[in-house]
Structures are given as structure tokens and as C-alpha cells.
Amino acid sequence: MHCFGALFVSSSLALAATASPAKSTLKAAASPRYFAAAIGYGHLTNKTDHLFREIAVAEYGGLTPENEMKWEITEPEQGVFNFTQAEIIVSFAEAHDYVIRGHTLVWYSQLAPWVTEIPESEVLSAMQNHITTAMTHFKGRIYAWDVVNEGFNDDGTFRDNVFLENIGEDYFEIAYQTARKADPRAKLYYNDYNTEGVNNKSDSVLSLVKSLKSKGLIDGVGFQSHFIVGSVPNDLQANLQRFVDAGVEVAITELDIRANTPVNASVIAQHAKDFAFVVNACQAVKKCVGITTWGITDSYSWIPSTFPGQGYGLLWDDSYEKKPAYYTTLTALRT
């Protein structure tokens, strides 16, 4: 397993004493935090796109498999597990000494259809078996797992899903208990979006976190950070801090900042400022341990298919040109 945890705890003072690498890449500038990207199997193994891998290796120090650890891929039929794609990504990550985030175990989306078709009474054991099998398979190799993903609505109520319906609110606690048992060294995270500022949703996540923390069942909270240019919450840093104050670490886990396309000069400039703002917020919070962008290049981003007419979310454009946001991110990471 990557020794990131120990490295981080060893503090920047100790690191300053060692020869610091030239801070000319995102990962070097971010250290001792990690700078990571969501990486998809198809992109990683695309033989005609060598730039994707080159940039990943040169600039990034961590990854989250973009889809390959999701339930529909890892357990498409009940009790039939397939970690082939995830293994290829994890092996790549290990070869490059990456921090690896496991994403995700309990989520209403990209769930294998059978989970909603089995008898109610079997959902609990199906959830436990899924968590245990996936985490045991990768035991000791994953820095942090998003155990439950997107469990709340924007108004702060529990999001309806097959787990809430059939197990009840206890599904959260049971999922984290199961995860803790499966790989006691992995950090257990809750991960969500629209929780980056102080609002009803982040208030509810904080209550859940305090309850799980009091039982020793949670270690971190991921703030997805799928932002719109010009709309990054001003209280991002304060919000991250209140979670840290509750005793967990935090991370920016799926960062992209989208805009209507094509973009003009003022949008490009604001996009660059917004990236720096997010980096500065994380860096100002001692236990904000890392930043993951949700991809490397716009050409593979999820944004245009979900929000037609929007894009420009990442640090490299679709021709692998670095954007102004790359440079503001690098500068912010260095400070």
C-alpha cells in the first residue's frame, strides 16, 4: 500500500528537510498532499493515445478508477465478481506508486440491476457480501474507499435507494462496520456532491459523520466538487474545516469546473481562478489530504454527455493543450 498516510503525518517540516523535488509538476507541487485523476480503463489501455498515459504518469500521483469499481462492473450477477478492469487500473497505479481511491461500494447508481430485483430480506446480506468481497480482493492496496456514495438529497434528507428502502437508515452504519472489518487499514470515506459549501445537505452529512466517528467507523469525507465556472462556494474552506474539526480528514475527490462551450476569454480566466481557489481552500486546511480531478483531458470527460452544451471542466483541453487553469493550479499548489 502507498505510504501516503505516514508521509502526510510526517508533516511538511520533515519533508522540507529532505531534498524537495523540483515542483514543476502537479504531483510534485502538491506533495505531501496527493494530486490525482479519475482514470478509465478504456483510456488507460487505448494504444493510440499515449499522451493520456504520459500525462498521467508525469503529472499525477494518484487515481480513482472512474467506473471500474462500481457494482454493475464488479458484481454484475449476484455472487459473480469481476475485478479484471479494476485490477488493470490498480496495477498501473501500483507501478507508479500512486495513491489509490476505491470508488465506490454502496451507491444507488451504476448498481447491478439484480440488487433491485432480489427479495427485500436479501438486500442486507447482498450489500455486506459486496463490500466484503471487493475490499478483501484489494486488501492492503487501497488508500481510501468511498463506502457510501451520494446518500443524501440536496435538502438534507436521506436519498431514497434500495438500501434505505430495505435495510433502513442503519444501512450506513452497517456498511461502514462491514468495510472496517474487511480492510482495517483502508480509510473509510463518505463521498457526495453539493456538499462543498455549508448547506442543508452538508449539515446532514456532518451529522452522519459525527455519529459514525463516535463509533470509530469513518475516517474521511470526499467533496466531489463538480463546479460551474464562477459558482465555487465561497465557504468551501470553512466547510472543509468544520468536517476536520469533527475528527475526519477531507479530500476534493472529483474536481471539474464546467462552462457553456465554446468558452470565451473571460470564462477561461474565471475557470483558472476557480481552480486556484479550490486548491487554496484545500491547502489552507491541514487535513485536506489531496485533490482528484475527474479526468485529465476534456475529450474523455463525462460533462458533455450529461450536460449538453457544457464542457471545459478539466486542466487539459481535447487537444492535450494545458489550459491557463493548469498553470494557476500549479502555482497555487506550490504555495
Active-site amino acid positions: 150, 254
Residue number, 307 or 320, with CB nearest to ligand 9MR = 307
Residue number, 122 or 160, with CB nearest to ligand 9MR = 160
Residue nearest to ligand 9MR (CB): 302
Tell me how far, at minimum, the Cβ of 63 lies from ligand 9MR, in Å. Answer: 13
Residue number, 20 or 109, with CB nearest to ligand 9MR = 109
Tell me how far, at minimum, the Cβ of 107 lies from ligand 9MR, in Å. Answer: 7
Tell me how far, at minimum, the Cβ of 184 lies from ligand 9MR, in Å. Answer: 25
Instruction: Provide the β-strand partners of residue 148.
Output: 106, 190
Residue number, 231 or 266, with CB nearest to ligand 9MR = 231
Helix (H) or strand (E) holding 169: none
DSSP code string of 64-95: EESSTTSHHHH-SBTTB---HHHHHHHHHHHH
> Residue 257 corresponds to which cell in the numbers above?
469546473
DSSP E strands: which ranges in the chain? 34-39, 62-65, 99-106, 144-149, 187-192, 220-223, 226-228, 249-260, 288-293, 310-311
Query: Which residues sit at the interface with ligand 9MR, rule CB under 6 A?
Result: 66-67, 109-110, 224, 254, 302
Query: How buried is residue 32: exposed, middle or buried, by Cβ count under 10 Å (0-12/13-18/19+)?
Result: middle
- At CA 48, angle to CA 67 and CA 72, rounded to 5? 15
Residue 202 CB neighbour total at 10 angstroms = 25
- Contact in structure between 66 and 295 (CB atoms under 8 Å): yes
Tell me how far, at minimum, the Cβ of 19 lies from ligand 9MR, in Å. Answer: 37
- Contact in structure between 21 and 265 (CB atoms under 8 Å): no
Tell me how far, at minimum, the Cβ of 81 lies from ligand 9MR, in Å. Answer: 19
Distances (CA, A) of 31 to 15, 22, 39: 9, 11, 20
- Contact in structure between 271 and 264 (CB atoms under 8 Å): no
Residue number, 302 or 316, with CB nearest to ligand 9MR = 302
